[in-house]
Amino acid sequence: MTVVFSGIQPSGETHIGNYLGAIRHWAVDQHEHTSYYCVVDLHSLTTPHDPAELRSKSLAMATMLVACGLDPDVCTIFVQSHVAEHTRLAWLLECTASIGELQRMTQFKDKSARTSGEFISAGLLTYPTLMTADIVLYDTDRVPVGEDQRQHIELARDVAIRFNSRYGETFVVPQGAIPKTGARVMDLQEPTNKMSKSVDSPQGTVMVLDPPDVIERKLSRAVTDSDGEVRFDVAAKPGVSNLLSILAASTGESVEALAGRYTQYGPLKKDTAAALIEALRPARERY
Ligand code: AQP
């Protein structure tokens, strides 16, 4: 049977990128594969945090996962720091990865640039090896994640292959599973940046628990452009393309089909808000 593993940081409130890019696929996978879903609290130690707050956020994140449809009778939901083998294996893998490959990780470059001038922990550099440990510990075949994790999954594969060739066949080499739509939801106010829990952008980030009127307001104020044409073109029209992606991920239709249906931004924003409110309704009500 295929084994699925994925994790989420309890570093803030769950947003629609987490939901559309990852969690809703976990809810489907749990019925088809042996699935492990982890609140990766140790990953959240890489950036400034308050210990007591992190504990309560871990519990809130577990609650959110159940609200989003993960069923503890069907899959395994757990907190990373409760299983000591994650950090034990991370050390072996840290000694299998090179500093050069860790320094090439875009997320390390972005996050260390964001905190430049402040304390940058060594863990921020090495955490992809902890993520590799999280994955390979369970003989994982498939890792459903958003686009931002593609590079870390590639690293996990490289490290597993290197470990196997140095010490003998030990780990299953995992495959990333990145969805066709919703894999990279962008900030509504800065549509060239990905929506993120740890970035302070209240108007650009839509939370799973946002009430419908708040979602409508955030979507109506989403940054677009001035040429007025509805077309999916991430480079030239990041704001409009983001709206189309969110609408596509919420309805199951393709971005191209949807783009052909609109000539103005107003109705696109309105329909995207309505589709999103419906897609999030079950999670919001269950939470
Ligand atoms: N914007 C996004 N679009 C699609 N998928 C996303 N994911 C995260 N952001 C998006 C996916 O959600 C899962 C959990 O990832 P995370 O806990 O790293 O989420 P985050 O919101 O990115 O959290 P942080 O704390 O703000 O981390 P950084 O600063 O690293 O972005 C993953 O499968 C992820 O791909």
Q: Sign of dihedral through CA atoms 103, 107, 112, 114?
A: positive
Domain with CATH 3.40.50.620 in the chain: 3-177
Q: What is the DSSP letter of 273?
A: H
pLDDT of residue 277: 98
Q: What angle do CA 46, 100, 138 make, to 5 degrees?
A: 60
Residue 76's DSSP bridge partners are 36
Overall average pLDDT of the 145-172 stretch:
98
- Establish whether residue 195 lines the binding site of ligand 1, counting it when its CB lies within 6 angstroms of any ligand atom: yes
What was the pLDDT predicted at 172? 98
Cβ–ligand 1 contact at 153 (below 6 Å): no
What pLDDT was estimated at residue 198? 82
How close is the Cα of 32 to the center of ligand 1, in Å?
A: 24
| pLDDT of 132 above 80 | yes
Separation of CA 236 and ligand 1 centre (Å):
24
pTM of the model: 0.96
Supply the DSSP string of 156-170, one letter for each residue.
Answer: HHHHHHHHHHHH-S-
Which residues make up the CATH 1.10.240.10 domain(s) of the chain?
212-286
Residue-wise pLDDT tens digits, 68-105 = 999 999 999 999 999 999 999 999 999 999 999 999 99
**Confidence check: pLDDT of 117 > 80:** no
What residues are labeled active site? 111, 194, 197
Do the Cβ atoms of 21 and 179 come closer than 8 Å?
yes
Q: Which fold has domain 3-177?
A: Rossmann fold (3.40.50)
Element (DSSP H or E) covering residue 217: helix 212-220
- Residue nearest atom 30 of ligand 1, based on CA coordinates: 107
CATH of domain 212-286: 1.10.240.10
| pLDDT at residue 114, as a whole number | 83
Q: What is the overall mean pLDDT for the chain?
A: 97
Residues in the chain: 287
Segment 243-250 mean pLDDT? 98
Tens digits of per-residue pLDDT, 18-72? 999 999 999 999 999 999 999 999 999 998 899 999 999 999 999 999 999 999 9
State how far the Cα of 245 lies from the Cα of 250, in Å rounded to an integer. 8
Whole-angstrom distance, CA of residue 129 vs CA of residue 57? 23
17 lines ligand 1 (CB under 6 A): yes
Using alpha carbons only, how large is the chain's radius of gyration in Å?
Answer: 19
- Closest to 78 measured CA to CA, from 138, 129, 164, 118: 138
- Please give the distance, rounded to the nearest whole angstrom, from the Cα atom of residue 106 to the centre of ligand 1: 13
Closest approach atom of ligand 1 to CA 195: 1
**Do residues 172 and 139 make contact, with C-beta atoms less than 8 angstroms apart?**
yes
**CA of 148, closest atom in ligand 1:** 35
Strand ranges for the chain from DSSP E:
3-8, 34-39, 76-79, 142-144, 175-177
Tell me if 145 CB under 6 Å of ligand 1: yes
